Amino acid sequence: MVYHFDESNFEAEVLKSELPVFVDFYADWCGPCKMMSPVIDKLAAKFDGKIKVGKVNVDDNMDLAQQFQIVSIPNMVFIRNGELVDRVIGANPKEIEKKFAQYAQ
Amino acid sequence: MLDLIIIGAGPAGLAAAIYAARARLDFLVIEQNYINGGQIMDTYEVDNYPGLPGISGMDLAEKMSSHLERFGVEIQNAGVEDLDLAGDVKRVITDEGVFEAKTVIIASGAMHAHLGAEGEERLGGRGVSYCATCDGAFYRGKEACVIGGGNVAVEDAIFLARGCSKVYVVHRRDELRADRILQDELLSLPNVEMVWNSNLKSVNGENSVSSITVVNKLDGAEREIPLSGCFIAVGIEPRSSFAKNHISMDEKGYIIADETGTTNVPGVYAAGDVRTKQLRQVLTAAADGANAVTSVQHYLLTHK
């Protein structure tokens, strides 16, 4: 399942998550983000129970986007124990899949 | 045995697939991305395709894809790594396995070129961008620059000027290459400053872009311009590395082919931005796809 994170639930769902969290910062008008969407759905199913997967709409959550210094999307980060541990910028399915395998350990 | 493999699902590959479906060929489309459309996915507006004025690149890609879905064509997601074109059976080697067919249309397109300026790679995604429609919104109320003078550069600058407080357009010559209608719009904008005859020397900043340094080609003077976004639109390079050593290319890597798509390898055709041609646009790419399928049909008739 793919969560929808926003400024109201980010702390509880992401920063205090037991599992490592993958967050996809996206926007509806971003072509490459749309490109990543089916990939992320697939990975969320594959790593269910190992990595929590969710999206943040940057238009609706500008403060979060700023906090994570998002100036280019798609922009995907891994957060573990409340800390940003990795980041992938750009539509790169192979790279993302590799990192999922790494953080699922 | 398939009649045809089409590599790429941008405008050239999608047009080829529509023609191939209508010709009832037995064929496969291979696309490395999980969504079709190629470069137009990054295009804010395609305003020169007849019948569809002002359509966004994303909408045009969706229209083209759904046109193809009407024929029940499925697209194989795979990255092409190599080709084996020596025999009558052409083999396409991908990260998802090997596919074989009697003919191949290479419609793998092109991607944005990098400049190689100092700081460009290090600050990629941290202020340096190649996609104004993707990232422009993050620079609302801030200052940004566009490097380049062609259609994409000028379109990007016009798009950015809607939200940015100021947009610098840095171009190596003293006139733009873009269509006149775009130039006129750009030059009428109050918050655009042209930086003529200048090359980008470096993009500066520690964790994000804080300025660029440009060099004036006429007098060698350097100028540092404080800004937070640097959009690079200096043209494209072909996606043809997988075809290297198998097909004749020009020195830039474009596959040498005329409007019939015919390459130096019998049964292998090139269509769209990846081939040598005068004008690389959605319109000419789609036309190439249609022509290449006609060439495939001729080949199949004479090679039974």
Is B135–A73 a contact, with Cβ atoms under 8 angstroms apart? yes
Among the partner-chain residues A37, A39, A71, the one whose CB lies closest to the CB of B127 is A71
pLDDT, average across residues B105-126: 94
Cα–chain-centroid distance for residue A29? 17
> What's the confidence (pLDDT) of residue B219?
96
> What's the confidence (pLDDT) of residue B44?
78
Is B127–A69 a contact, with Cβ atoms under 8 angstroms apart? no
Is B58–A34 a contact, with Cβ atoms under 8 angstroms apart? yes
Q: Is A30 marked active-site?
A: yes
> What's the confidence (pLDDT) of residue B38?
86
A16 close to A82: Cβ distance less than 8 angstroms: yes
β-pairing, B211-216 vs B198-204, is: antiparallel
Q: How confident is the model at residue B290 (pLDDT cuts 50, 70, 90)?
A: very high
Report pLDDT digits (tens) over A50-60: 999 999 999 99
Whether B300 has a pLDDT exceeding 90, the answer reads yes
Q: Is B134 marked active-site?
A: yes
Report pLDDT digits (tens) over B129-142: 998 988 898 999 99
Among the partner-chain residues A37, A39, A73, the one whose CB lies closest to the CB of B134 is A73
Which residues of chain A, if any, have pLDDT below 50? none
- What ranges do the domains of chain A cover? 2-104
Is A35–B139 a contact, with Cβ atoms under 8 angstroms apart? no
Q: Mind telling me how many Å the CA of B37 is from chain A's nearest CA? A: 9
- Annotated catalytic residue within A14, A21, A23, A33: A33
Strands (E), B156-273: 166-170, 192-195, 198-204, 211-216, 222-226, 229-232, 236-238, 268-270
CB atoms within 10 A of CB B173: 11
- Annotated catalytic residue within B84, B88, B134, B258: B134
- Interface probe, candidates A71, A75, A84, A97, chain B, greatest B C-beta count within 10 A: A71
> What's the confidence (pLDDT) of residue B304?
75
Is B137–A39 a contact, with Cβ atoms under 8 angstroms apart? no
Using CA atoms of B231, B235, B241, B244 in order, give the dihedral in degrees to the nearest 10: -160
- Give chain B's mean pLDDT: 95
pLDDT, average across residues B141-160: 96
Q: How confident is the model at residue B221 (pLDDT cuts 50, 70, 90)?
A: very high
- CA B88-B94-B96 angle, to 5 degrees, is 120
Joined tokens for residue B82? 């190599």
> What's the confidence (pLDDT) of residue B35?
76
ipTM of the complex in this document: 0.70
Joined tokens for residue B166? 């100021």
Q: Mind telling me how many Å the CA of A21 is from chain B's nearest CA? A: 21
pLDDT, average across residues B88-102: 97
> What's the confidence (pLDDT) of residue B87?
93
CATH class of A2-104: alpha beta
> What's the confidence (pLDDT) of residue B258?
96
Q: How confident is the model at residue B203 (pLDDT cuts 50, 70, 90)?
A: very high
Q: Cβ neighbours of residue B301 under 8 Å, at least 6 residues apart?
A: none
Is B133–A69 a contact, with Cβ atoms under 8 angstroms apart? no
- What does the DSSP assignment read for B99-113? EEEEEEEE---EEEP
Q: By C-alpha distance, which of B202, B111, B241, B205 is closest to A90? A: B111
- What ranges do the domains of chain B cover? 2-112+236-302, 128-232
> What's the confidence (pLDDT) of residue B97?
96
- CA B134-A17-A62 angle, to 5 degrees, is 30
CATH (residue range B128-232): 3.50.50.60
CB pairs under 8 A between A and B: 65
Residue A84 pairs with which residues in a beta bridge?
A79
Interface check for A82 against chain B (CB to CB < 8 A): the answer is: no
> Which chain B residues contact residue A33 at CB under 8 A?
134
The residue length of chain B stands at 304
pTM of the entire predicted model: 0.82
A71 or B199, which is more confident? B199
Q: Cβ neighbours of residue A48 under 8 Å, at least 6 residues apart?
A: A1
β-pairing, B211-216 vs B222-226, is: antiparallel
- Cα–Cα distance between B15 and B271 in angstroms, integer? 10
Pick the CATH number of B2-112+236-302 from 3.50.50.60, 3.40.50.720, 1.10.10.60, 3.40.1080.10: 3.50.50.60
Q: How confident is the model at residue B45 (pLDDT cuts 50, 70, 90)?
A: confident
Q: By C-alpha distance, which of A85, A29, A81, A77 is closest to A53? A: A77
Percentage of the residues of chain B whose pLDDT score is greater than 70:
100
